[in-house]
Structure 1
Amino acid sequence: MTLIDARDIPADATSRDRLNGSGLDYRVVDLSDDAAATPFLRAVGRGFLGEESTPEALAHSRQTVSQRRTTGVFETDAVSGDLPVATIDSWVTPLTVPGGAEIGMWAISGVTVAATHRRRGIARSLLEGELRAAHGAGIALAGLTVSEATIYGRYGFGSALPAVRFSVDTRRAGWGGHEPSGRLEYRERAQLVDDLATVHERARRTRAGRIAGWAGRWEQFAGTAPGETDRDKVRGVRHVDADGETRGVLVYTVTDRSGSFRFGLNVRMLVAETADARAALWRFALQHDLVDEVTADLQTADDPLPWLVADQRGVTQEVHDHGWLRVLDVARALSARKYSVPVDLVLRIHDPLGFAAGDWRLHVDVSGVATVEAAESAAPDAVLGVAALSSLYAGAVRATALAGAGLIDAEASVVDLLDRAFFTSPAPSLDIWY
């Protein structure tokens, strides 16, 4: 699919004027300029409480962020070399939606506000500015992953893609699964970068909720990025099928837990295209010599791991929020995905920012294809806020749960229909941070 370059979109005028009135300068930052790039990247690191980056680490980060639309907020009297007091970056990425199609999503990252400038409306201007820019550019959906889960609902984002964190007591769990086909091979860290990129790009297209990765992300996972924590402890294996094709990759670290040669194995990334590849990589981790515990985050709700062990009570599962979405164009977003049962309903969407507000008729035919249009006079069958619609969108969050929390106002039969229509398999997920 053809995607727009977010760097071509100017700074939002409304946010610019609002912050100018508070003595702040809101502008897109050109990271091709050395004098601008280093302060911007240092401010991002400061905002996420990171250590002061080395020149090598800054140069590496710049390779990634320079491909994005980077926006900073500065004091109006700032001079060249001064750090911005707030940052945000964004780009348009393909998002896989139920049914296997893709839609362009405005991905948001690097959101920071200096502790010296809290409660001045800066975060609001940053987030609303991104949404106005995305909507103005014709993008139907925005998304982000968050460090604080209480902030983004006020801007219409909904928690849409939960993740599972596994902790496995390997001595108790054991192995009860089948003998997977194929073979495993150790890989050098530089090789893992290419392996992750190749397998993830194929695998992400088969599961709703996933976005495309990028070189810097794989270099961080593989431990080749400058300044990456535990980089010298990173190891990895790949799964190769009978045809010699790489179908899965496991990147991990091991840490001495007790000083007595008993280790914990932490999965940094596990990506697999086939059931045999996933089973083989889990078996490798769980049966690794001297390892008592395996931990892995950002796994899917339908991962077979609990069914591959001999004792499921050796597997602890913690479900948590991860991917957040925000519908900006109801008609384009809802018509981009497929549905599991036919539907003909009018949805009334409340959106304080106005992008998605209105009454919308969602008509789904027997093949799961939707047409969506403004409903001029029909009474609504369901009333919900844009955050609830955004949570429902990818198919991982159930309408019954949202209705039970008072976030969808509809008859039980309508909620049940929404539940069945938006459901999709395999379980939607997001397997990286961005």
Structure 2
Amino acid sequence: MAADPLTLPVDDEAQAALAAHGLRMELLDPGDDAQVRAWMEADSRGFHDAAPDDATIELVSGDFAGSRTVAVRDDSLTDPRVPVGTITSWPAAMTVPGGEVTGWAISGVTVAPTHRRRGIARAMVDAELRAAVAAELPVAILTVSEATIYTRYGFGPAAWTAALEVQAKRAGWLGAETPGRVQLVERATAMETARELLPAARRATPGDVQVVGHRFDRLFGSRTDEPELRRRRFVRYDDEDGVPRGLAVYVVGEEDPADFTSHVVEVRHLATTTDDAYRALWRYLLELDLVRTVRAPLRSTDEPLRWLVRDQRAIRTTELREHLWVRVLDPVAAFSARTYGASGRLALRVTDPAGYADGSFVIHATEGFAPRVARAGAGSDVPTLELPVDLLGSLYLGGVSAVTLARAGRITEVTPGAALAADRLLRGSEPPLLATWF
């Protein structure tokens, strides 16, 4: 029977590893305001942020009741109240091709600079993976500040994002007319709309993860004492029947105070559930008066916007990076939860030092339907790949080509042509995208 990961006690193995360094691990009591404040101070310090003020603590603290939050302490310090290690995790719905899974979302991983090289990160992350396995969750997921850390725990980059910068007036609109209407809405209306629209948009986007708690509130600037958040604007697209189908959150700023026509639009979030909504909201943003530049982070690597303007050179990709990392814990459950782009069979031989996903399993796929996936020895008539567990996570959502990984020497074709067979099954019609941070 699956355990409730939020109620699991401190991990014995991690506790023993930390004790060898004079440290101890404990679960945060979400009802203890002093513990919550100290944990948040340590988390902010780890990411070089300012210490949280009372309003931030009030905004975030409600999330701890739905999370498994861990602090590592050094009782020998003059003030041991502030942890020397932090991590928090919770179950989160993630879209996969043709469906969704509940993943173990991991965040807030920090180690005090005074306590590096004592195995704190290893103990914390390993403990959370064991908690996810005990809860029978098929994958763990995270976003990272450093791209070289999490492969050692079996995570692989699985979804990439592009940051776009558009010279708005040069671009020139080419897209078709849309039958609905665009309207500016107040913050409260935008939040009410988003509670239904964001989950619908997320379910249509492989790799996207549900936005909950303070991350949802901050998206809409609920901290109105922060100047940038007060300046957020909200524009909604309604279809011909008046049903909201898209929402954009943006800020307008000055680039050159001496030139009132050189404003910059920063798109904080754009979610749509129809193509009409996508076109209408992008047209609105690009045709705002007195605006020279529109910037949008966390966009798809295959953004349709490029085909909606006359001059594609007016759109520049300023950043391309991996964003979502996936760690497969149960290959059978994970690969059974998604659908496939073709019919066929594929065998994967996975090396996982931690043992969770180690071994061989075979996917029997029928295009568009739930597959049969089972642990098995690879048969000679089944296209077979050998790969490490981190790259299993990279292939899971179809965000990278198995042919590319084979050419790079990162995976091995046991059967000639197995990489191409994998791409036919695993690759989707659009690249996976995580449109937020967590």
Alignment of 1:397-408 (within 5 A): 397-408=400-411
Instruction: Classify the secondary structure of the residue corresponding to 1:175.
Output: coil
Cα distance in structure 2, aligned partners of 1:162 and 1:285: 23
Higher deviation after alignment, 188-197 or 39-48: 188-197
> 2:94 is matched with which residue?
95
One-letter identity of the residue aligned with 2:296: A
Q: Hey, what does 2:337 align to over in structure 1?
A: 336
* Aligned mates of 1:4, 1:226 — CA distance in 2: 40
Aligned match of 2:391: 388
Counterpart of 1:159 in structure 2 is 157
1:420 to 420, 424, 428: 424
Give me the whole-angstrom Cα distance separating, in 2, the residues matched to 1:81 and 1:188: 45
How far is the alpha carbon of 1:374 from its aligned partner? 2.1
In structure 1, what is the equivalent of residue 174 of structure 2?
176
Q: Does the 8 Å contact 2:347/2:378 carry over to 1?
A: no
CA distance in 1, matches of 2:227, 2:354: 40
1:303 matched to 2:303 = yes
Q: For 2:428, give the aligned amino acid.
A: T
Could you tell me whether the CA contact under 8 Å between 2:11 and 2:127 is conserved in 1? yes
- The aligned runs of 1:6-17 (5 Å cut-off) are 6-17=5-16
User: Would you say 1:233 and 2:231 are equivalent positions?
Assistant: yes
- Indicate how the Cα distance of structure 1 residues 243 and 54 shifts in structure 2: closer, same or farther if over 3 A, else same: same
How far the C-alpha of 1:407 sits from its partner, in A, is 1.6
Measured at CA, do residues 9 and 226 of structure 1 come closer, stay the same or move farther in structure 2, by a change above 3 Å? farther
Aligned AA for 2:280? A
Quote the residue 2:30 is aligned against: 31
Instruction: Specify the code of the residue in structure 1 equivalent to 2:336.
Output: S
Please tell me whether residue 283 in structure 1 is matched to residue 292 in structure 2: no
Aligned counterparts of 1:83 and 1:336: Cα–Cα separation in 2: 41
Q: How far apart are the structure 1 equivalents of 2:159 and 2:173? A: 29
- 1:247 Cα shift? 0.9
AA at the equivalent of 2:365: V
Deviation at 1:395, TM superposition (A): 1.3
Q: State the number of aligned residues.
A: 431
Change (3 A) 1:68 1:187: same
Q: Considering only aligned residues, what root-mean-square deviation do their CA atoms show, in Å?
A: 1.9
Equivalent AA in structure 2 for residue 353 of structure 1 = A
Contact 1:39 1:81 in 2 (8 A): no
Q: Distance in 2 between matches of 1:374 and 1:66?
A: 37
* Counterpart for residue 139 of structure 1: 137
CA distance in 1 between counterparts of 2:279 and 2:168 reads: 15
Residues 14 and 309 (structure 1), Cα distance of their counterparts in 2 relative to 1, 3 Å cut: same
Structure 2 residue 434 is matched with structure 1 residue 430: yes
Question: Does the aligned pair in 1 maintain the 2:166–2:294 contact within 8 Å?
Answer: yes
1:322 matched residue in structure 2: 323
Q: How does 1:228-267 map to 2 (within 5 A)?
A: 228=226, 230-259=228-257, 260-261=259-260, 262-267=262-267
Whole-Å separation in 1 of the counterparts to 2:227 and 2:106: 24
Question: Which residue does the alignment assign to 1:191?
Answer: 189
Alignment-derived partner of residue 361 in structure 1: 362
Q: Give the match's secondary structure for 1:258.
A: coil
Q: Distance in 2 between matches of 1:285 and 1:432?
A: 20
Tell me the TM-score normalized by structure 1: 0.95
> Residues 36 and 81 of structure 1 are in contact (CA less than 8 Å); yes or no, is this contact kept in structure 2?
no
Deviation at 1:378, TM superposition (A): 4.4
CA contact (8 A) 1:9 1:137 kept: no
Q: Which residue of 2 aligns with 1:351?
A: 352
Matched, 1:48 2:44: no
Distance change >3 Å, CA 228–CA 419, structure 1 → 2: farther
In the superposition, relative to structure 1, how do residues 307 and 4 fare at CA in structure 2: closer, same or farther (>3 Å)?
A: farther
Gaps of 5+ in 2: none
- Taking structure 2 as the reference length, the TM-score comes to 0.94
